[in-house]
Amino acid sequence: MVKVLGIDEAGRGAVLGALVIAGVMINKQDVEKLGKVRDSKTLWQKQRVKLDKDIKKVAEYVILVVEPEIIDAAVWSGELNLNWLEAHKQAEIINKLKPDIAIIDCPSINEKSYKEFLQNLVKNKKIELIVEHKADVTYKVCSAASILAKVKREQEMDAIKKKYGDTGPGYPSHKITQKFVKENWDKYPEIFRKSWSTYKRYARPEGQKSIVDY
């Protein structure tokens, strides 16, 4: 039997909260058992939650939660960036689940370079890697992974909101998130990605004005 693994993420662009990367693996002949999965962004939250439960019943899976401090360390390291950090986490999932085929929703515009980098991190060089943009639209295993990642990311954000108040969804473009960052960047530094420009816009020395003050 050929085991197919799909990997996708949620929360990549957020200024607040974790990046979640999920892998879903199933026998190739059983892919249809994943049900009516599709890109998680096109589903209602209730649909995602139901599919999340259904997927976990029929497939093997791994979910990794990458906290803000890990993301910042990679961005500031000079050796890694968000793409390469994501590749390391994807390789961790691949090495754990040991598929025959691994399909990756590629975060980089250079699919060839990203695939080569990821290949070097995968222990079993016989694993077939398919690295494509929008793989979560094309391949059901990646759609399933996107659902698991999205549901876990939402759970993480719900826990943050319960503890810290209304943060919005955590993305820089959202007005509620912008307001929360502006008012709380120095109170709860543990939940922010400090390497993000949205955070740095507010986290400045006392008395130093930013463009947002004008």
CATH of the domain at 188: 1.10.10.460
The DSSP annotation for 96-160 comes to HH--SEEEEE--SS-HHHHHHHHHHH-S-TTSEEEEETTHHHH-HHHHHHHHHHHHHHHHHHHHH
pTM above 0.85, yes or no: yes
Same domain, 101 and 181: no
Q: Please report which confidence band the pLDDT of residue 176 belongs to, taking 50, 70 and 90 as the band edges.
A: very high
- Per-residue pLDDT, averaged over 92-106, amounts to 97
> In this predicted model, which residue has the larger pLDDT, 42 or 170?
170
Chain centroid to Cα 137, Å, comes to: 16
Residue 175 contacts residue 183 (beta carbons within 8 Å): no
Q: What is the pLDDT of residue 41?
A: 81
Q: Please report which confidence band the pLDDT of residue 211 belongs to, taking 50, 70 and 90 as the band edges.
A: very low
Same domain, 151 and 62: yes
Total domains in the fold of the chain: 2
What is the DSSP code (8-state) at residue 192?
A: B
- Domain residues for the domain of 144 are 3-162
Q: Give residue 38's identity as a one-letter amino acid code.
A: R
Q: Whole-number mean pLDDT of the chain?
A: 92
Q: What is the pLDDT of residue 205?
A: 52
Give the DSSP H or E segment for 27.
strand 19-27
Same domain, 114 and 175: no
Q: Please report which confidence band the pLDDT of residue 130 belongs to, taking 50, 70 and 90 as the band edges.
A: very high
Whose tokens are 């960052």? That residue is: 181
> In this predicted model, which residue has the larger pLDDT, 54 or 44?
54
Task: Tell me phi and psi for residue 172, to 5 degrees.
Answer: -60, -25
Q: Which of 143, 162, 181 is the last residue of a domain?
A: 162
Same domain, 145 and 174: no
Q: Which of 121, 136, 162 is the last residue of a domain?
A: 162
CATH number of domain containing 54: 3.30.420.10
Q: How far is CA 130 from CA 109, 144, 149, 179, 193, in A?
A: 15, 16, 19, 40, 30
Same domain, 209 and 108: no
Q: What is the pLDDT of residue 209?
A: 47
